[in-house]
Structure 1
Amino acid sequence: MNIDQKGFEVKGLSYIIRSADPADAAKLSQLRLQIDGETENMDRVQGEGVIDTSGFEQLIARDTEDNRNLFLVAEAEGEIVAFSRCEGNHLTRFSHKVEFGICAAREYWGFGIGKHLLEQSLAWADANGITKIILYVLETNEKAVQLYKRFGFEIEGVITKDRILSDGNYYNTIVMGRFKL
């Protein structure tokens, strides 16, 4: 599904949030690979689970056509610097919910981009009868956990010893959800 483009100005940075377009596929493939190497908050280490240009083209096309999915990008200074996805399910018992995921280039942290991607996703969900949004976040990503809490997400569970990070230690994943009738 698509949304209307919206512009923002934060700390001197102008950027827009808009629906992903198939023409974004190559940039998204490169950005995802870059972000995987910038933070351990993602599920992958750099080079794992790569989605190439063709894969992103297919994903964007599917998400654009499916009213249960939403693929957004944040564009600043002529470049895609972040993206988010809501992925729904057409099984009747799960049709009320979507799973949310987000990633942003480290250079653009602190400009409210994640917050605005989340706001746009929540507005879309609310307008389309989606009553539950779930997400998974690494326990050490405290800023993200606090952001989600500010938007009504609650901790629903913890997956213990879910990830091994570069320090060789195990870390928990927090399952968060927002339910709104």
Structure 2
Amino acid sequence: MFFYQPIQLKNGQKCILRNAEASDAVRHHAYFVQTHKETDFLLTYPDECTLDIISLERQLKETKCSGTDVEICAFVDGKLVGSAGNSLIRNCDKMRHRVEFGISILKGYWGLGIGDALTKSCIECAKNAGFLQLELEVVSENENAIRLYKKHGFVEYGRNPRGFLSRDGHWQELVLMRLELDVSAK
């Protein structure tokens, strides 16, 4: 699925949203490690990046060629500062209508509108791919993300109080949210 869109950030900087390319693998790996160091709201720790550069190149290439999945990166002055994507939850008849959404942004770029633009772009891609429901899980303490998702029409449908077990032994509650794409939404 092809995606390209230039946007202007709240601080006036230009940002390019485009598909992740195989050639982005090295910087995508470094970006993954950095974003996962900057917040405890993401699924994994920085040392849990399991893909080597060759495998990441292959995955990014396959995602770009996919009719269902998408990985959109945000670049400011050529620097990868944000990434979001959709992935088919399961390829079977009863679940083929559902796609999972995930997003991360470098902390220095929070609050500039990148999350809003990436979310909107992934919603558009999910609709264009024919999905009927976009889903996500978010740490309940991540109030800014929850506000963003609600702005785009996501609704909470449940909570998992033992969603993440941190290495230090504390639980992080996950809020389960979904957006019905086959009804009028923002």
Q: Partner of 2:126 in structure 1?
A: 125
Are 1:29 and 1:50, in contact at CA under 8 Å, matched by a contact in 2?
no
- TM (normalized to structure 2)? 0.91
Specify every segment of 5 or more residues in structure 1 that has no aligned partner in the other structure, as ranges.
Answer: none
**Counterpart for residue 5 of structure 1:** 5
State the secondary structure of the residue aligned to 1:75: strand
Alignment of structure 1 residues 130-141 onto 2, 5 Å: 130-141=131-142
TM-score between both structures, scaled by the size of structure 1: 0.93
Q: How many pairs does the alignment contain?
A: 181
- Is 1:144 paired with 2:171? no
Looking at structure 1, the residues matched to 180 and 57 of structure 2 have their Cα atoms a distance apart, in angstroms, of 31
Q: Is the 8 A contact 2:9 2:114 kept in 1?
A: no
Deviation at residue 46 of structure 1 after TM alignment: 2.1
Shift of 1:174: 0.9
Instruction: Please tell me the root mean square deviation across aligned C-alpha atoms, in Å.
Output: 1.5
Partners of 1:39 and 1:166 in 2: how far apart?
A: 14
Gaps spanning 5+ residues in structure 2: where?
Answer: none
Paired residues of 2:71 and 2:84 also in contact (CA < 8 A): yes
One-letter amino acid matched to 1:180: L
Cα offsets for 1:3-32 (capped at 9, x unmatched):
133332321221111111111110000000
**8 Å contact from structure 1 (residues 36, 45) kept in 2:** yes
Q: 2:41 aligns to what?
A: 41
Divergent runs of 4+, >3 A: 164-168
Q: Report the identity percentage.
A: 25
Equivalent in the alignment of 1:113 = 114
Aligned to 2:67: 67
- Cα distance in 1, alignment partners of residues 94 and 154 from structure 2: 21
Superposed displacement of residue 59, structure 1: 1.4
1:78 aligns with 2:67: no
Q: Counterpart of 2:35 in structure 1: which amino acid?
A: I
Alignment partners' CA distance in 2, 1:71 and 1:17? 10
What is the one-letter code of the residue matched to 1:148? Answer: Y
Q: Any idea what the Cα deviations from partners look like across 1:115-143, whole Å, max 9, x if unmatched? A: 10010111112223211000110011000
